[in-house]
Amino acid sequence: MGLTTKKLQRLKDQEFPKLFKGHEQHWKSLLGTAVDFLDKGLAKAERIRPDDLSEALHQILEVDEEFKKYVDEHRLPQLYWAKDFADYIVDQVYGKEIVKRGGTP
C-alpha cells in the first residue's frame, strides 16, 4: 500500500525521520540488499515495484539490530513499525510523487 499520510504522521510522532537521517547509509544499504534480492528473483521483464521493495525491506528490518534497538529503546512493541518504516525508506529514496488534484490520472 505504500506510505500514507496516516503512517507518516505516526512515524513522525515517534521520530523515525530522525532515525532515518541519523543512520541514512545503513538504511540505504539494507534497501540495496532488498533490491538485489528482488532483482535476482524476478523475471527480467518485470520491474521492481515500490510495494514489493517495501515488503522485502520490511522482512530485513524485522531482524536488523539497529531497528530492533530503536523500537526497544522507545518502547514501541507494535508490529507495524517495521512495515511503516520500510514504506518510509522506500519513499525517501525513490520519490514522493504526489497525485495532483482536480485532474485525471
Q: What is the pLDDT of residue 96?
A: 65
Q: What is the pLDDT of residue 11?
A: 98
Query: How confident is the prediction along the chain (105 residues), in pLDDT tens digits per residue?
Result: 789 999 999 999 999 999 999 999 999 999 999 999 998 888 888 888 889 999 999 999 999 999 999 999 999 988 899 999 999 999 999 876 655 555 555
**Nearest CA-CA partner of 91 in 27, 40, 33:** 27
Q: What is the pLDDT of residue 47?
A: 85
Domain ranges of the chain: 5-94
C-alpha cell at 24: 541514512
Rounded CA gap, 22 and 27, in Å? 10
**Nearest CA-CA partner of 55 in 85, 16, 28, 76:** 85
What own/partner pairs with CB < 8 Å and gap ≥ 24 does 19-26 have? 19/70, 19/85, 20/85, 20/88, 20/89, 20/92, 23/66, 26/66
Rounded CA gap, 87 and 103, in Å? 26
Q: What is the pLDDT of residue 99?
A: 55
Rounded CA gap, 24 and 57, in Å? 14
C-alpha cell at 103: 485532474
**Matching residue, cell 539490530:** 65
